[in-house]
Amino acid sequence: MKAGEIMNKVMVIDENVKLKDAARIMAEKRIGCLVVMTKDKIVGVLSESDIVKYVKKLNSKVSLVMSKDVLTVDVSEDIDNVARIMSENKIRRLPVMNRGQLVGIITTTDLIANADALNESFIFE
């Protein structure tokens, strides 16, 4: 199974958006993260845990609290490798790219929902 088969829609915000506005978007859309972009480039990921950690700074820009140096995967990436990347890097979300364009996101929940398609040797390593 490939990343493109299990990815979800992704919400994007600008790095200058205030943390409180990002929190409102996440609550309204019932999502756990937003991908932060400048022009067509991913510059960060803002998660619900980032918001909780900086709850006293809700008027700050997301660029000050987002996770930077974002790893991505291609739509054609095998989900076993996606799981390995997430595990090795201790991350819960991976943006999915197609020809350099952001097209979706995979979360640990997506992997769990598709656990029957994961290689058992990975699960028991």
CA distance 101 to 18: 25
Q: What is the pLDDT of residues 71-81, one digit of tens each?
A: 999 999 999 99
The full set of domains in the chain, from first to last, is: 3-123 (3.10.580.10)
Query: pTM for this one?
Result: 0.86
Confidence (pLDDT) at 38? 92
Residues in the chain, how many? 125
Give the confidence band of 21 by pLDDT, cuts at 50, 70, 90. very high
CB atoms under 10 Å from CB of 29, counted, come to: 11
Residue (of 38, 40, 46) closest to 66 by Cα position: 46
Between 117 and 55, name the one with better pLDDT: 55
- Helices of type H across 1-125: 3-6, 19-29, 48-53, 79-89, 108-113, 120-123
